Amino acid sequence: MKTRTIVMVGLLALMATLVLPATGAGALTTYDVEVGKFLTSAPAESMRFFPGTIDVHKGDTLHFTTESFHTATLLPVGQGVVDWYDANATPGTSQPYGLIQPDTEDTPNTYKFGNLAIFPTSSTCGGSGQPACSYDGTTVVNSGVSVLFDGPMDWSVTVDAAPGSSFWVVCLIHSANMRMKVNVVANTAPASDPAALDTANAQALAQDTASAAALNAKYSAKQTWHTKGAHRVWDAWAGVDNRHVALYGMYPRTLHIAKGDTVQWHFDSLTFEDHTVTFPSDKAVKIANVFDPACDPDGDTGPLPDGPPDTMDPPFCTDPTQLEIHFSPNFVPKLGNGTVTGQRDLESSGVRGANSSELGGDANYNLKFGAASSGTGFKYICMIHTFMRGRVVVR
């Protein structure tokens, strides 16, 4: 049920109201872990945890930071990362840690953020000025997506799992491919040397910086097509991922085509990211920025529908567990009829890529251009990363 709309900035104060300051306690060693890292050589990000593997002692603390859009989510000891992700965190499903979940009360389904994915497991530990959270190896401990609400991630967790155990840390946004292995070694064994980790991190970053530049150059230069009848079908890519890097660009950024041609966007390289191709860019920005808080007193399976927010401002619901943050109904699904007929024609691939087999999958998106454009062309963006822009000039 749609009641009112807000823009994302309205949510910034939400988590601030739930976070209480406290003082921290000491630990043996605190290891810094950066989650993802923007690269300088291309519009790109390294999708690693830095470091990717670490040996710690029981009682050591992991301090996670990122400037980007990730979670640091510690899985229970003994859980395989792919198996856990498939069973618990598949976007587009109602699994507990799914980032984007159907609101099954609505027909057709609308989508909302998964609260267990985007909010921290505890609002009273882990954050800046708070004591570190404790991870004992039995249950998930999640940072949440603090950048949505509270600024860049600055989150600490003390490893209290038994020596001899190992576990994975994953990002709930960027698939099971974005992961870190933590080994809790015996107290008598050496843990990782922070200086050696710094050296390995620098090497990984240099490797990703070079590979991002090469990938960006390669896809920027692509001008390929095949013919179909009297017309051409042009190749394009909404972002490109390789083993450790995600490129945030539309490739090629500009295509010059003839009226009646088709552009085919490929999503099958994506192993971390999801994107959309949405025309026209101004309408797409509006869809991307609309979020819709509601309060659902009895959950999706109860007989009562979603209700309007209890308050005009965060936290919106008197009982915060009732909060549902809905996406615009135009955000997730494919829109339009597959042919661009003019500057105001809304056409969208819907969410496709690495994470979204329950959503749009990684299938190609074909869009035919049935009308000539202005000289600047038909402009489009990705609604997930609204800075990713491209245009198609049709003569």
Residue 267: how many other CB atoms lie within 10 Å? 26
State the nearest-atom distance from the C-beta of 272 to Cu ion, in Å.
Answer: 7
Q: Which residue has the tokens 């230069």?
A: 221
Q: Name the residue nearer to Cu ion (CB basis): 178 or 255.
A: 178
State the nearest-atom distance from the C-beta of 392 to Cu ion, in Å.
Answer: 30
Q: For residue 210, which amino acid is it?
A: A
Establish whether the linkage from the previous residue to 280 is cis, with ω within 30° of 0. yes
Q: Which residue has the tokens 């095949």?
A: 226
- Cα diameter, the chain: 73
- C-alpha to C-alpha distance for 87 and 249, rounded to whole angstroms: 31
Q: Name the residue nearer to Cu ion (CB basis): 55 or 241.
A: 241
Please check whether residue 143 is in contact with residue 73, taking contact to mean a CB–CB distance below 8 angstroms: yes
State the nearest-atom distance from the C-beta of 335 to Cu ion, in Å.
Answer: 26
Residue 15: how many other CB atoms lie within 10 Å? 22
Q: Are strands 110-113 and 53-57 parallel, antiparallel or unpaired?
A: unpaired
Q: Name the residue nearer to Cu ion (CB basis): 175 or 216.
A: 175
Cβ neighbours of residue 31 under 8 Å, at least 6 residues apart?
Answer: 54, 56, 60, 61, 62, 63, 192, 194, 197
Q: Name the residue nearer to Cu ion (CB basis): 182 or 184.
A: 182
Q: Which helix (H) or strand (E) holds 196?
A: helix 194-220
State the nearest-atom distance from the C-beta of 45 to Cu ion, in Å.
Answer: 9
State the nearest-atom distance from the C-beta of 210 to Cu ion, in Å.
Answer: 22
Instruction: Give buried/exposed letters for 191-218 (b at 16+ CB in 10 A, else e).
Output: bbeeeebeeebeebbeebbebbbebbee
State the nearest-atom distance from the C-beta of 36 to Cu ion, in Å.
Answer: 6
Q: Name the residue nearer to Cu ion (CB basis): 385 or 391.
A: 385
State the nearest-atom distance from the C-beta of 261 to Cu ion, in Å.
Answer: 36
Burial degree of 78 (CB within 10 A; 0-12, 13-18, 19+): exposed
Cβ neighbours of residue 11 under 8 Å, at least 6 residues apart?
Answer: 148, 149, 291, 293, 314, 325
Q: Name the residue nearer to Cu ion (CB basis): 2 or 38.
A: 38
State the nearest-atom distance from the C-beta of 118 to Cu ion, in Å.
Answer: 12
State the nearest-atom distance from the C-beta of 171 to Cu ion, in Å.
Answer: 3
State the nearest-atom distance from the C-beta of 14 to Cu ion, in Å.
Answer: 21
Q: Which residues bind Cu ion (CB under 5 A)?
A: 70, 171, 173-174, 178
- C-alpha to C-alpha distance for 239 and 356, rounded to whole angstroms: 15
Please check whether residue 144 is in contact with residue 124, taking contact to mean a CB–CB distance below 8 angstroms: no
Please check whether residue 265 is in contact with residue 388, taking contact to mean a CB–CB distance below 8 angstroms: no
Cβ neighbours of residue 98 under 8 Å, at least 6 residues apart?
Answer: 88, 89, 90, 91, 92, 114, 117
Q: For residue 284, which amino acid is it?
A: A
